[in-house]
Amino acid sequence: AIINSVVFPAIAVEKMPSNFVRAVNFPRLAPGFKVGNAASGVICECFVDFCCPYSRKMFKVLWPMTSDFGSKMQFVFHNVIQPWHHQSLWLHESVFAVKFLYPEAESCYWMALFAESPKYYDAEIYSLTRAEFYDKIAGFGADVIVGDRSDLKRNDVKTRILQYLIPPKQRRGNFPEEASVTFGSRPDDDENALFPMTRQVVKFQRKRGVHVTPTVFFNGIEQMQISSSWSKDEWYAFLNEASL
């Protein structure tokens, strides 16, 4: 089911010279989706992949509990791009685009994408080209973002997302000027505007030693006992003790 979204503020795009390129080696937007109390001193980090059924299983159980424990800890859901699912990159790229373009829709999009992720598993998308997949996922993103709103047009939102997904040199490529400031990408790049963000996310995942998904850390320490098969009761008992 598509989750209706809220009202999104306009994004103020910083005007920079046309030849400006962001040179610092870290993303202007911190990777990961964060919810909860950052000042609590307890951080639960979940490394997940949208192509991973085990990540989906854990997210479905854990996400509702962020409401119960959000005042006692912060939850951070990190993107993990898994190379054995080639479409994993494309799904996470769509999340990066939504994160930047429609930040207030980020939680809606994470929930909707995990809810519908079986439609994007290997067997279901095997015959799609990269261009076809981008068109499909951008349409899905537009549906989530627009919802029942009358002030947004689905086609406009889809076109905006595709600006970030389609490499500028390819057919229908239309480089977004603000990406040079936000991500450090360029209109003459062979890859899309999100490519610098992708590299930084992969570097972050590797530096943390994450290989399989889901992987969970509490205050920086991997919790090997946590399983994607944990029930609500098991998660509740663990989170309750962790928040004491």
pLDDT at 237 over 50: yes
3-state secondary structure of 2: coil
Percent of the chain's residues with pLDDT above 70: 89
From the list 182, 95, 188, the residue with the least C-alpha distance to 145 is 95
The distance from CA 204 to its chain's CA centroid, rounded to whole angstroms, is: 14
pLDDT in tens, 10-59: 445 455 555 556 566 666 777 789 999 999 999 999 999 999 999 999 99
**pTM of structure:** 0.89
Is the four-CA dihedral 163, 139, 132, 49 of positive or negative sign? positive
- The pLDDT, as a whole number, for residue 101 is 95
Which of the four pLDDT bands, split at 50, 70 and 90, describes residue 5? very low
Residue 65: Cβ-neighbour burial (10 angstroms; 0-12, 13-18, 19+) = middle
* Helices first, then strands: H and E counts in the chain: 10, 5
Cα–Cα distance, 231 to 58 (Å, whole number): 9
**In what helix (H) or strand (E) does residue 144 lie, and over which residues does it extend?**
helix 130-146
The residue with tokens 């040079």 is: 180
pLDDT in tens, 100-143: 999 999 999 999 999 999 999 999 999 999 999 999 999 999 99
